[in-house]
Structure 1
Amino acid sequence: MTKICFHLDENVDPVVAAGLRRYGVDVTTTAEVGLRSKSDPEQLAYVCQTQRVIVTQDRDFLIIASQGYEHSGIAYCQKGSRSIGKIVNALILMYEVLTPVDMKGKIEFL
């Protein structure tokens, strides 16, 4: 089974990436791929091109998705609503039970 790859936007603490990597999850961050301060559509273009699920705490991505923009999946967590450990655990669960096909065009609320 093909596994989900994640991309953390700049609103998500990079410690989440470290937690995911400890489990062997393929994850990039906005800073690592040179997208810091790029627009949300540019972020979405990157995740579509690389077939990654974007992990965000930015509501703007929910608005963009509702406007019909294509995306490989969005994992959304309201800022301050979950600890880093709970975010990592939720993403690990997604990684274990969902595929990239399951997530295409979908939003998963953490």
Structure 2
Amino acid sequence: MSISLYIDENVHRGITDGLRIRGVDVLTVQEDGRTSFPDPLILDRATELERVLFSQDDDFLAKANHRQDK
């Protein structure tokens, strides 16, 4: 089973490149034309695309937890 990632714009390109070199299916927010979109829309987009969101933004964890609590 392979995991498809949706990479947030705050993730260093070196990480994205390294994942790709290792054969991981990666789509960045920038490639998807979603640069500077609000975090809730990025979360929605990752869900829509059925991809795991990869972010280094501490705010994302709090927002994701808040959504699960509802």
Matched residue count: 68
After TM superposition, give the deviation of residue 4 of structure 1 in Å: 0.8
Taking structure 2 as the reference length, what is the TM-score of the superposition? 0.87
Counterpart of 1:22, as a letter, is I
Taking structure 1 as the reference length, what is the TM-score of the superposition? 0.58
After TM superposition, give the deviation of residue 49 of structure 1 in Å: 0.8
Residue ranges of structure 2 left out of the alignment (5+ in a row): none
Say which structure is richer in helix: 2
| Whole-Å separation in 1 of the counterparts to 2:24 and 2:56 | 20
Counterpart of 2:63, as a letter, is I
Residue 6 of structure 2 aligns with which residue? 7
Secondary structure of 2:40's aligned partner:
helix
| Aligned 8 A contact 1:14 1:29 in 2 | no
After TM superposition, give the deviation of residue 68 of structure 1 in Å: 2.0
Q: CA RMSD in A?
A: 1.1
After TM superposition, give the deviation of residue 54 of structure 1 in Å: 1.1
| Aligned 8 A contact 1:11 1:58 in 2 | yes
Residue 27 of structure 1 aligns with which residue? 26
Counterpart of 2:13, as a letter, is P
Give the fraction of aligned pairs with identical amino acids, expressed as a percent. 40
| Alignment map for 1:1-110 (pairs within 5 Å) | 2-69=1-68
Query: After the TM superposition, which segments of 4 or more aligned residues of structure 1 sit over 4 Å from their partners?
Result: none
Counterpart of 2:34, as a letter, is L
Highest relative contact order (Cα 8 Å, sep 6+), 1 or 2? 2
Residue ranges of structure 1 left out of the alignment (5+ in a row): 70-110
Provide Cα deviations, 1:33-81, integer angstroms capped at 9, x if missing partner. Answer: 1110001011011110111111111111111112125xxxxxxxxxxxx
| Aligned 8 A contact 1:8 1:29 in 2 | yes
